[in-house]
Each structure stands twice: as C-alpha cells, then as structure tokens.
Amino acid sequence: MKEKNSITPHTKVLCIIGNPIEHSMSPTMHNAAITNLRLDYIYLAFKIMPNNLNFAVKGIRAFNIIGINVTLPFKQKIMKYLDEIDPMAKKIGAINAIKNDEGYLTGKNTDADGGLNALRNEGFKIKGKNILLLGAGGAARALSIKMAENVNKIVIVNRTLKRAINLSQTIRKYFGINSEAKQLNKNILSEECKKADIIINTTPIGMYPNVDESPIPPECLHEDLIVYDIVYNPIETKLIIDANQKGCKTLGGLDMLVNQGAIAFEWWTNKKPNTSLMKSKIIEFLGINK
C-alpha cells in the first residue's frame, strides 16, 4: 500500500465491493503489487448493503474509481448496471472485475482465466480430459464454461441437482461437448472418480473453520487423478492432504486467487504485478488472521 502521506489528489482508486468483505484478501495482495511497482494507486474494500448496489455503481462513476473487483453476492446482480460485458462473462453469467474508462463500465470474469492459468502453470493439461466438477455455483460456472472449449467431458455433481442440470445444459448448448449432471452422494462420487482424469472441487466443503471436512471420501481417490481444490483457506485442505496421501497430483486454490487478481490488476493498470509477492502476502495474511 502507498505510504499515507504519499496519497495525493492524483492517486487512483481501485477497490473490491461485496458483503461480507472483512475477510477479503484482495486489498492485501493488490496493495502489495502497487507498492512493489511504485504505482500511484490505492486499493480499498467497501461493504455494500444489497439494496444499495445501484448507488454503489453510481458512486464508482461519480468518484472515478477505475478498477473494481466484485464478490459475493453481487457477481450476477451488478451486470445489468454495466455498459458492456465481455463475451466469455456473458456465457458464464457473472463478472468479478470492472474497468471504468471515463464512466464507461466494462465487466469481465477473471475467475475463469485465473483458475485455468493456475492449472496450466503447474503443467496440468486439460485438452481431451474427463473432468469431474463438484459444485454448480459461480466458480463452477466460470471454470467449466471456460474449460469446455478444450476438454472431452464434464460431469457436474451438485447437492442441488437442478443447478447441475442447468449448467450441463449450458455447456452442451455452447460447446456441444459431452456433459452430465448428477446428485452429490458417496455412490456417485465413487463411480465418477474411477472415470475422471481431473477432479475440481468448487464447493466450500473443507473451508475454514470446517477444516476437517472433505467433499470426497479418501477411498474414492486414486493415484491417476489430478485433484484441484479451489478453496484457499486453509491453503492445504483435507481434500488436498488426502489426495497427496493417495499419490494424486494436486493443486490448491491460492494460485487461482492470485491469478484472477493479477489478470484484473494488469487490465486496470497495464502493468504486470509480481504474483509471487502477492501469493506470499496472502500466506502471511492467512497466518495472522486465524
């Protein structure tokens, strides 16, 4: 973050809006990147009451806030207030970043690219693979719709079957690939884990404080699997610990978090942030905030 006395009338404002917002890691990682690049920016967090979303968007224009992250519960609801939505975000049906060009607001979904880049950066290939996706919420939509361009098949397993059916229909409609929807239960998981190449958990099961929970019984896991858990708090979830013990290749959610932030940061500032620094600041933050 900029030193307090170095904030001037020229300082440009970036922010995140959501509710709740107190536990967001975005200010920590973005301000670290700003300081590191010696940019005249500051990144703040605003808790917005749901009834005030339209006023918040007016405020973004009025105060010329130039880059905005959007988190729960506004990722879908905010779209109608924007001037333009990037085509991939339209397919996903949600945005998590906005750029303000002199009052013209464009929305985009950097979760999708951030989540996929995290896999690719680890050398995991998705082309032609069979994906088992746990969850059918916002993150599941972002990842599966982005991945559908390349993979062989996506099986979506969700607590609420109807949401999984909707998502698999969208995938088939846009990309013509094979996609099935199934109810989340132990038998289905046991069956589907045998057929999958990559498992992606997008449910919050195992997230702090419920760190002893896992969405997949360990006996379903086997060493040919890549297991990707997008939960980042704790950094190593029970699912990742179990998968490592079974000899699977694994990836946690921290890289997705950093990558989605880095894509937005570069979009707003035209500068590449130091992602290793952003990651280490989050690890520090998670350590302190337990």
Ligand X SMILES: NC(=O)c1ccc[n+]([C@@H]2O[C@H](COP(=O)([O-])OP(=O)(O)OC[C@H]3O[C@@H](n4cnc5c(N)ncnc54)[C@H](OP(=O)(O)O)[C@@H]3O)[C@@H](O)[C@H]2O)c1
Active site residues: 75
The phi, psi pair for 104, rounded to 5°, reads -95, 115
What is the contact mask toward ligand X in residues 238 to 257, using x (rule: CB under 6 A)?
Answer: ---------------x--xx
| Distance in angstroms (rounded) separating the CA atoms of residues 19 and 269 | 25
What is the contact mask toward ligand X in residues 46 to 85, using x (rule: CB under 6 A)?
Answer: --------------------------x-------------
Q: Which of 139, 147, 225, 278 binds ligand X (CB under 6 A)?
A: 139
Q: Which of 18, 67, 138, 273 binds ligand X (CB under 6 A)?
A: 138
- Smallest distance, Å, CB 144 to ligand X? 11
In terms of Cα–Cα distance, which of 197, 202, 222 is closest to 127?
A: 197
Name the pairing type of β-strands 198-201 and 130-134: parallel
Q: For helices 138-147 and 161-175, what crossing angle results, to 10°? A: 30
Q: Which of 44, 177, 207, 277 binds ligand X (CB under 6 A)?
A: 207
The phi, psi pair for 47, rounded to 5°, reads -90, 120
Toward ligand X, which CB reaches closer, 59 or 285? 285
> Is-contact 273 38, C-beta < 8 A?
no
Q: Which of 203, 214, 269, 275 binds ligand X (CB under 6 A)?
A: 203
- Smallest distance, Å, CB 3 to ligand X? 29
> Is-contact 18 97, C-beta < 8 A?
no
Toward ligand X, which CB reaches closer, 27 or 40? 27
Q: Which residue is nearest to ligand X (CB)?
A: 137
For ligand X, the binding residues in 78-117 under the rule CB under 6 A are 111
Q: Where does this chain touch ligand X (CB under 6 A) — which range of 52-60, 147-155, 225-233, 270-278? A: 225-233
Does 135 participate in binding ligand X (rule CB under 6 A)? yes
| Distance in angstroms (rounded) separating the CA atoms of residues 229 and 240 | 7
For ligand X, the binding residues in 271-290 under the rule CB under 6 A are none
Q: Which of 202, 250, 269, 275 binds ligand X (CB under 6 A)?
A: 202
State the number of binding residues for ligand X (CB under 6 A): 25
CA-to-CA dists, residue 41 to 47, 52, 70, 74, 268, angstroms = 20, 25, 18, 24, 11
Does 204 participate in binding ligand X (rule CB under 6 A)? yes
Q: Which of 2, 61, 159, 271 binds ligand X (CB under 6 A)?
A: 159
Q: Which of 12, 129, 163, 172 binds ligand X (CB under 6 A)?
A: 163
Residues that bind ligand X (CB under 6 A): 72, 111, 135-140, 158-160, 163, 184, 202-205, 207, 230-232, 253, 256-257, 260
